[in-house]
Copies of this chain bind each other. A is one copy, B any other.
Amino acid sequence: MKNEAITSRDVDFAKWYTDVVKAAKLCDYSNVKGCMVIEPNGYAIWERMQNVLDGMFKETGHQNVYMPLLIPEGLLKKEGELIEGFAPEVAWVTHGGSKELEERLCVRPTSETLFSDYYSNAVNSYRDLPMKYNQWCSVMRWEKTTRPFLRSREFLWQEGHTVHATQEEAEAETRLMLNIYKKFFEDYLAIPVITGRKTEKEKFAGAEYSLTIEALMYNGVALQSGTSHYFGQKFAKAYDISFTNKDNKLEYAYQTSWGVTTRMIGALIMVHSDDFGLVLPPKIAPKQVVIVPIGNVSDKVSEVYQALKDSHISVYVDDSNKSPGFKFKEAEVNGIPVRIEIGERDLKRDVYTVVRRDTQEKMEVSADTDIASYVLELMDNIQNNLFTKARKRRDEMTYEAQTVDEMREIIENHPGFIIADWCGDQACEEALKEVGGLKSRCILEGENATHKCVVCGRDAKHKVVWGIQY
């Protein structure tokens, strides 16, 4: 059933995207310009993401904390690069009640400054280290153009901030978190990602270097999906985070930060979803199975429901007053991975129907099927199919180029990731913006350049992935 509320993905991708967001009731525009209301269906996906990631963070020794929402201007300005990067896009609180404040406060765009300020008091000896903290919160960046989940003035995220006694340990942490993000994207969201290092131009303001995971959307546009930054001692020096090391000498500490956001919900839509609505990988779907009863079938419905429940499958029965056809469509648009239709007539033949959302395939199963095992296997299958399909498409849309003309030809006809060598000169990087807005996504680590710089023809230093970004 084509969903009339949803524009075809191949006709108008941008319109299709917002139609899916709306039809699946993920979020709504609000009366606050550039801010969105995350509705129950959208928030449930975020909660599921939080739950899985938070478990991964805790398993690797991280603890959650909460830092203030507001940052005094003076504190924000201590680290010069950071303020340069964020000042144009923060919201300023100037009044408390009816009184003007002596110092204005910004709504946090990110919390390096607050964590550093805290660590400067809390860290004294190498015995206090490492401190590996994370917080789940909202942040605000005064963006001009906004799109649901992809770019909004306020968004939800987690920001990890850690402080270590040695460079080695901090660098290992930076990489550990990158790998956790990669694992989460591939194993749970079924989205393949490329990992690498950001160029100097694209790295986080104030970082020594930034690592990133980059995903490719259905329309060939790249999405920066998670970043992990190594700060070295930059913030430690600006905020005076020093400690007595094992040799009883005073030393500045080493820091990292890393984050992922509600943007991941946008990625799920743009990688997996289709003209019928949302498609969710079973491992991240808040509701994995819906049972639709047709006629007088309550015994069988209870039996199937209980069997799935007992196997810890997230299942619900749609016993509302709507027609079966309406329920099917609703389950489809909401991206429920598996739909079970139990009909009175079918049961007389000792069968009922299982439908998988990813391929829309309908399977008739015998009424005495071990349904829990069947669904568990089917969900594995769906999860793998979504990942394989996304990886195949990503691979097909990943090109290599040795000249700017080749790059232009690719971008104009079938955009995607373009791998091309680069001399390391920022002028060459910026020149590529003329090619349909191409930007460097990341430097591939551990791979040597094999050609000349795609722009200037001089010797190349790096193999770089380029793309058009959201």
Q: Which residue of B lies closest to A96 (CB)?
A: B142
- A6 CB within 8 Å of chain B: no
The 5 closest A-B pairs by CB, nearest first: A35-B68, A40-B63, A96-B142, A38-B66, A92-B95
Measured in the bound complex, the distance between the Cα atoms of B35 and A68 in whole Å is 6
Q: Report whether A30 and B64 are in contact in the complex, using a CB–CB cutoff of 8 Å.
A: no
Measured in the bound complex, the distance between the Cα atoms of B376 and A277 in whole Å is 48
Chain A 253-301 interface residues, beta-carbon cutoff 8 Å to B: none
Q: Report whether B37 and A65 are in contact in the complex, using a CB–CB cutoff of 8 Å.
A: yes
Copies in the complex: 2
- A107 CB within 8 Å of chain B: yes
Q: Which residue of B lies closest to A114 (CB)?
A: B30
Q: Which residue of B lies closest to A94 (CB)?
A: B94
Q: Report whether A91 and B117 are in contact in the complex, using a CB–CB cutoff of 8 Å.
A: no
Q: Report whether A47 and B64 are in contact in the complex, using a CB–CB cutoff of 8 Å.
A: yes
Can you give 26 contacting A-B residue pairs, CB < 8 Å?
A28-B122, A30-B118, A31-B114, A32-B70, A32-B71, A35-B69, A36-B68, A37-B114, A39-B65, A40-B63, A40-B64, A40-B65, A40-B133, A43-B65, A43-B66, A47-B64, A66-B138, A68-B154, A69-B69, A69-B138, A89-B96, A91-B93, A92-B95, A94-B95, A97-B142, A107-B107
- A460 CB within 8 Å of chain B: no
Chain B contacts for A35, CB-based, 8 A: 68-70
- A137 CB within 8 Å of chain B: yes
Quote the shortest CB–CB distance from A241 to chain B (angstroms): 14
Chain B contacts for A94, CB-based, 8 A: 92-95
Given A94-B94, A118-B37, A32-B72 contact (CB < 8 Å): yes
- A145 CB within 8 Å of chain B: no
Q: Report whether A93 and B107 are in contact in the complex, using a CB–CB cutoff of 8 Å.
A: yes
Chain B contacts for A36, CB-based, 8 A: 68
Q: Which residue of B lies closest to A115 (CB)?
A: B37
Quote the shortest CB–CB distance from A138 to chain B (angstroms): 6
Residue in contact with A38 in the complex, picked from B65, B98, B104, B142, CB distance below 8 Å: B65
Chain A 91-149 interface residues, beta-carbon cutoff 8 Å to B: 91-98, 104-105, 107, 114, 117-118, 121-122, 133, 137-138, 140, 142
Taking A32-B105, A87-B97, A92-B96 as given, write out 9 further A-B residue pairs in contact, using a Cβ cutoff of 8 Å, ordered by the A residue number.
Answer: A35-B68, A40-B133, A44-B63, A66-B138, A69-B107, A90-B97, A92-B94, A95-B104, A137-B138
Chain B contacts for A28, CB-based, 8 A: 118, 121-122
- A75 CB within 8 Å of chain B: yes
Q: Report whether B105 and A96 are in contact in the complex, using a CB–CB cutoff of 8 Å.
A: no
Q: Report whether B88 and A98 are in contact in the complex, using a CB–CB cutoff of 8 Å.
A: yes
Q: Report whether A63 and B37 are in contact in the complex, using a CB–CB cutoff of 8 Å.
A: no
Q: Report whether A69 and B140 are in contact in the complex, using a CB–CB cutoff of 8 Å.
A: yes
Chain B contacts for A31, CB-based, 8 A: 72, 75, 114, 117
- A5 CB within 8 Å of chain B: no
- Between A66, A67, A104, A133, the greatest number of chain B beta carbons within 10 A of the residue's beta carbon is seen for A66
Q: Report whether A70 and B142 are in contact in the complex, using a CB–CB cutoff of 8 Å.
A: no
Q: Report whether B64 and A91 are in contact in the complex, using a CB–CB cutoff of 8 Å.
A: no
Residue in contact with A68 in the complex, picked from B37, B71, B75, B105, CB distance below 8 Å: B37
Chain B contacts for A72, CB-based, 8 A: 31-32
Measured in the bound complex, the distance between the Cα atoms of B30 and A117 in whole Å is 8
- A435 CB within 8 Å of chain B: no
